A and B are shown apart, each in its own frame.
Chain A
Amino acid sequence: MKTLNMIIVLFIVCCFSAVSLSFLYVKTQPRIQLNKVQKEVKLKKQIIPHMENFVVKSLEKLNIEECFDEKNTLIGILVKNSCKGYGGPIEYLVGIKPEVPLKIIGIKVLSHKETPGLGANVAKDKFLSQFIDKVPQELVLKKDNVQGKIDAITGATITSKAITNSLQELLLDEELNKYILSLSKVQQEHYSLQIKPQRMQSNTKKSSFSAVLEQLTTTYLQQEIQPQQ
């Protein structure tokens, strides 16, 4: 009798909890989703302020959004990407200038599970604003490479490294580069002449990345130097 009583009470309490929670879930879920969407739209506006409308396009691996201003000129490309941080995936939204070499206009973190007080600083503008207007190969932590121009977050090396590497990889992504090149046709000839032979020689994906990187930097530096002379 005592055992039966125990079973009944525990069953009733659990049932009560399950019913109330499922009721609350059904009630709140639409609002939670709505809040999420609203937050994303707000962040998109912050990254590309003059954005009026956008077109969603899906490439092979990435989903991108082309953003246009009032005069229907392309002002930026939004990419939603994620990388593996210290505590879980870091989801971020990044706006890219539609010209080669790719540069970042703005970046915001959508969600993360990093340690509060340390890794959580990844969402702060103080860290994220460092990525704006940098060439891909400058996107390395200062302490790892002399060329790097990114200061890591204090006490959160893994987080900083994860997001920096992920951004560099994104900017060097062949698919994205090709797509953006097809958008801006002026530079296309220039690019194909320089890069294509190198790509044929390379075997692995990584070396092709580094080759592209080197070529891009040399062309970039030449462009930089020439007007000065």
Chain B
Amino acid sequence: MRKIFEIILRGILKENPVLIMMIGLCPFLACSTTANDAVGMGLAATFVLTCSNILISLIRRIIPHNIRIPIFIVVIATFTTIVDYTIKAYFPTLSESLGVFIPLIVVNCIILARAEAFASKNNIFYSFVDGISMGGGFFLAIVILGIIRELLGSGTIFGSKELFSYPAVIMVLPPGGFLAAGVVITITKYIENKLIKKTKIISNLPSSCEGCSLKSTCMEFLKNK
């Protein structure tokens, strides 16, 4: 039970894929121009991440080590296409707002990173929880950025009426995305530093280990030593 809690906390806060580990920045910046798009991308990515985590964890014992990456990619691409077809056929209204992003999920490196770092080493249930929590972390990050950019860039929230006139258009354009992402990442880093000071985790690792996806593994290794 404790491990499940730990996995969830790690996915959403401690090792948030976008804000702390800095992977999957491409969809994070590209699909956060409006809050609705961000919600769609977050949900679709979470679904594919969870499914691919489960399947890869299921077949992890028969995958030869040398060709694990191609197999991960095939599995992820298959799931993405399944989601694409299913939504198009049975949920046409959802597909209108979400359809553009689904093919983009294949190149979302969070999914490949989780398959490589977690699902290929843990059992099915933990992989499932990890998929949901990592997807949740991505979802939260992208929705926060989407709300900020939509509010400042077009003056609306979730496609509502314009709250004020003359919004700053730059926030919808790519430069605004980088600006907003920088601010959000800075705030998360600040919060993270505060939290770490409170719990007083002493690590002998150099500062360059901050944000590395294998940091927790290294720390555990040092602790056991």
Interfacial residues, chain A to chain B (CB-CB below 8 A): 2, 5-6, 9-10, 13-14, 17, 20-21, 24-25, 27-28, 31-32, 35, 38-39, 113, 115-118, 120, 154-155
Closest to A18 in B: B78
Contacts of B30 in A (CB 8 A): 116
**Chain B 70-100: CB-based contact to A (< 8 A → 1; otherwise 0):** 1100110110011001101110100000001
Q: How far in angstroms is the closest Cβ of chain B from A153?
A: 11
Q: Within the assembled complex, what's the spacing in Å between the Cα atoms of A71 and B34?
A: 45
CB <8 Å contact, A25 and B62: no
CA of A116 to CA of B149, assembled, Å: 13
Q: Is there an interface contact between B169 and A14, defined as CB atoms closer than 8 Å?
A: no
Q: How far apart sit A9 and B88, CA to CA, in the bound complex (Å)?
A: 31
Taking CB atoms, residues of chain B closer than 8 Å to A27 are 89
Return the contact of B90 from the options A10, A31, A38 (Cβ within 8 A): A31
Known interface pairs A6-B64, A28-B90, A116-B34; 6 further A-B residue pairs with C-beta atoms within 8 A, sorted by A's residue number:
A9-B62, A24-B81, A113-B100, A117-B37, A117-B150, A117-B153
Q: Does B33 sit within 8 A of A, measured CB to CB?
A: yes
The CA of A117 and the CA of B33, in the complex, are separated in Å by 5
Q: How large is the interface on B (under 10, 10 to 19, 20 to 34, 35 or more residues)?
A: 20 to 34
Per-residue interface assignment for chain B, residues 35 to 74, with 1 indicating a CB less than 8 Å from any chain A CB and 0 otherwise: 0010000000000000000000001001110110011001
Partner of B92, one of A20, A24, A35, A116: A35
Cβ-defined contact, B85 with A28, below 8 A:
yes
> At the interface, is chain B mostly helix, strand, loop or mixed?
helix
Among B155-189, those with CB < 8 Å from A are 169, 172-173
Instruction: List chain A residues, Cβ under 8 A from B169.
Output: 154-155
Contact A28 B78 (CB under 8 A): no
How far apart are the CA atoms of A38 and B86 in the complex, in Å? 17
Which of B37, B89, B169 has the largest number of chain A CB atoms within 10 A? B89
- Check: B31 CB closer than 8 A to any chain A CB: yes
Q: Is the CB of A39 within 8 A of B92?
A: yes
In the complex, chain B residues whose CB is within 8 Å of the CB of A28: 85-86, 88-90
- Taking a contact as CB atoms under 8 Å apart, the answer to whether B82 and A24 are in contact is yes
Residues from chain B with Cβ under 8 Å of A154 in the complex: 169, 172
Given A35-B88, A116-B31, A117-B33, A10:B70 Cβ within 8 A: yes
Q: Is the CB of A5 within 8 A of B64?
A: yes
Once A117-B172, A118-B33 are accepted as A-B contacts, the answer to whether A10 and B67 lie under 8 Å apart by CB is: yes
User: CA A17 – CA B66 in complex, angstroms?
Assistant: 20
CB-CB under 8 A for A9 and B64, given A116-B37, A155-B173: yes
- From B66, which residue of chain A is reached at the shortest CB distance? A6
Question: Which residues of B sit under 8 angstroms from A2, Cβ to Cβ?
Answer: 64
Nearest residue, chain A, Cβ from B86: A28
Minimum C-beta distance from A113 to chain B (A)? 8
CB proximity of B166 to chain A, nearest CB, Å:
11
Bound form: Cα–Cα A199–B63 in Å: 73
Instruction: From the candidates B66, B82, B150, name the one contacting A21 in the complex (CB within 8 A).
Output: B82
Please indicate the chain B residues that have their CB under 8 angstroms from the CB of A38 in the complex.
92
| Cβ 8 A contact of A9, one of B63, B150, B154 | B63
With A9-B67, A116-B100 in contact, do A24 and B85 touch (Cβ < 8 Å)?
yes
Cβ B78 vs Cβ A21 within 8 A: yes
Instruction: Please state if B64 and A20 are interface contacts (CB–CB under 8 Å).
Output: no
Cβ–Cβ contact B85 & A118, under 8 A: no
Chain A residues near B33 (CB, 8 Å)?
115-118
5 contacts between A and B (CB under 8 A): A9-B62, A28-B89, A32-B89, A117-B153, A118-B33
Contact (A17, B78) CB under 8 Å given A118-B33, A155-B173: yes
**Bound CA span A115–B86, Å:** 24
Cβ–Cβ contact B78 & A35, under 8 A? no
Contact residues in A for B59 (Cβ distance below 8 Å) = 13
Q: Which residues of B contact A39 (CB under 8 A)?
A: 92
Min CB gap B64→A, angstroms: 5
